[in-house]
Structure 1
């Protein structure tokens, strides 16, 4: 089953979620309304809502319950992107102007806060106290991750443990609880909930590592932003961390890191070439594949049904995607 087929099978419910997203971010204030709508229209894969819906299939599936979870998690994701763009001083996302670029940092921060508030409002409609606890703990962890990313900005000496912990909080955690909360909302057993959480965590880790790889091998058209954007924003990711462990990487990359805040496009192109030559891409792909294998293993312990096969196919797509 291809990804398009999976989305097609969920088309009706995803359409309801899209309508709910649009309705939820409706604001009385014209600037808040325009900024929020601008972000929503930029689109996205809606991976988190898809994980919520598919995980709900393992229990008592009710679209009204699933919708509360899916909308809340997608809004949290959207709000975090708005804040990320302010921190990273990003001008473009998905080929469109960011809110901070089109308006300013203050509008972006308040828009992100507004979307966060709407997300909490949505999950409040779910009569599952454990879901609220899961979500609040995740938001705390995500906030710590954002602070750590700021701390590690332009720090080429960051170690692998810090990198993996950062991407867990940045990406994997929200995908993990998308799977878990979909299962919670559907009233599945704790065993199924834990399996789906671990599946989502491993898929999320692979997803972010693949993103970090694409920043070195993707085109600006594919990425919606210039290649090497992570380095320009001071984010040191797995491909370059591996390259720095090789003599070629140390000799060729470290001189550029004398003043990371002054990197220019020529420096970035040189670093990208060295990362590729040193095997940083292949190493990162191997690590991503290991996480995917762990995700597949978690699925083996779940009931055999179409939703399980769909989760397998999505995980497989994540490991092979090129944008």
Structure 2
């Protein structure tokens, strides 16, 4: 398996200049372990007293699973096998009629409720989460010496993941008072907040019924965790931390709960249906977790670097909502004035514009991109523990697409 690297000195230089980034990634000389989040792991990161997740797989995992990718560096990586694979095309056959099947799950006789529920399931979405779930399911099937075709329950999980995600978007738009989503007027703007909340609840209830029909109690438990995480993540977003390191830890944990938990647990669920080995479940989970966090980190960067036409929503949205994301938190190291703005949630006159300018003048964007790359690097390492397959290569290729997307 050939691996080629090209030097990306700008990101490395930015990383070396940052004490906070070294702390987050465990890049100091005392440790070469990539340690970031406060979820599902052990160990501590310098400056953080609470347990954090250390990105390594146990020795017993390494000895039993022999399919490992070469060690990666943090530079731009081109995989000679995976670079030509289009993950969307590979998953397309399994995703045909996905939105039609979702609409069948949401069938109701009341026409207005049906119109609300069908509004975002118009076939115009990227189906990013179902695509990952489909590719992970097929990769796990091949790893387990089975036919690569999806089991009915695995495809149902792909559908359920999109339903849960969309329901969360409906609720988020109400909470944030958003008027645009995916280039369309939001449900709350068209039908009002009360009906939007009820529509989100109905989509979640339909997803729960579809989940129950899979008939696997472990899968039900795993995907139920996603809904709990979404609620906890939303509550975390309402708060902030005064201490700089605690603030970044809070941000990463919130990012996991609001974005990555759905991908991680959906990947784990499809692996459970085909393989009884908890080590395989953990690989699937960790791949989804790392890709999910990287996806959100890039999304937070795009809020500063992409125009509204590319995003399908107004830029500087997070600052206007009072949210301090990765680029802002990194920029605090160069512009301490941001600390006070963060604590008052950019509520004073001129805060949003000044914070925007500070971020652009700092290397906060570069450092956030670098951190996203480290998460993708770990996702590649995890998926490399599965048996080689085109689907595994597609999941590797997907990490590059996450890092290079512009909307």
TM-score, scaled relative to structure 1? 0.91
Verify the 8 A CA contact 2:323 2:342 in the aligned structure 1.
no
**Quick check: 1:91–1:101 contact (8 Å CA) kept in 2?**
yes
Look up the SS of the partner of 2:96 in the other structure.
helix
Match of 1:237 in 2: 325
1:289-319 CA-to-partner distances (Å, cap 9, x unmatched) read 1111111110221101111001001111101
Counterpart of 2:396 (choices 301, 307, 312) is 312
Indicate the SS of the match to 2:86.
Answer: helix
| Aligned residue runs from structure 1 range 119-268, under 5 A | 119-152=207-240, 159-187=247-275, 189-246=277-334, 249-251=335-337, 254=340, 260-261=346-347, 267-268=351-352
Note if contact 2:85-2:393 (Cα within 8 Å) is conserved in structure 1. no
Give unpaired runs (5+ residues) of structure 1.
Answer: none
Equivalent residue number for residue 303 of structure 1: 387
Question: What is the aligned partner in structure 1 of residue 92 from structure 2?
Answer: 11
C-alpha displacement at 1:83, in angstroms?
0.6
Residue 320 to residue 28, structure 1, CA distance change in 2 (3 Å): same
CA distance in 2, matches of 1:261, 1:43: 35
Distance 1:258 1:66, change over 3 A: closer
3-state secondary structure, aligned to 1:62? coil
**Structure 2 gap segments, 5+ residues each:** 1-81
Paired residue total: 318
Asked if the contact 1:220/1:227 (under 8 Å) is kept, the reply is: yes
- Once the two structures are superposed, residues 5-43 of structure 1 have per-residue CA deviations (whole angstroms, 9 ceiling, x without a partner) of 322232221013222112112222222111111121273
The question of whether the paired residues in 2 share the 8 Å contact of 1:68 and 1:125 is answered with: no
- Where do 1:60-75 residues align within 5 Å? 60=146, 61-75=149-163
- Report the structure, 1 or 2, having the larger helix content: 1
Pick closer, same or farther for the CA change 1:56–1:259 going to 2, 3 Å: closer
Instruction: Check the 8 A contact 2:87/2:395 in 1, yes or no.
Output: no
SS at match of 2:178: coil
Q: Could you tell me whether the CA contact under 8 Å between 1:69 and 1:123 is conserved in 2? A: yes
Residue equivalent to 1:117: 205
Q: Distance in 2 between matches of 1:78 and 1:41?
A: 12
Q: Please give the alpha-carbon distance, in whole angstroms, between the structure 2 residues aligned to 1:128 and 1:198.
A: 21
Which runs of structure 2 are paired with 1:43-58 in the superposition (5 Å)? 43-57=124-138, 58=140
Q: What CA distance in whole angstroms lies between the structure 1 residues aligned with 2:348 and 2:196?
A: 25
2: distance between equivalents of 1:256 and 1:188?
A: 46
Alpha-carbon spacing, 1:3–1:205, altered in 2? closer, same or farther (3 Å):
farther
Query: Residues 194-213 of structure 1, C-alpha deviation per residue, up to 9 Å, x if partnerless?
Result: 10110110111100000000
Match of 1:41 among 101, 122, 140: 122
Q: Distance in 2 between matches of 1:143 and 1:283?
A: 28
Structure 1 residues 319 and 291, CA, compared in 2 at 3 Å: closer, same or farther? Answer: same
Task: Return the alpha-carbon distance in structure 2 between the equivalents of residues 177 and 101 of structure 1.
Answer: 32
Residue range with higher mean Cα deviation, 54-63 or 303-312? 54-63
Q: Name the residue aligned to 2:375.
A: 291
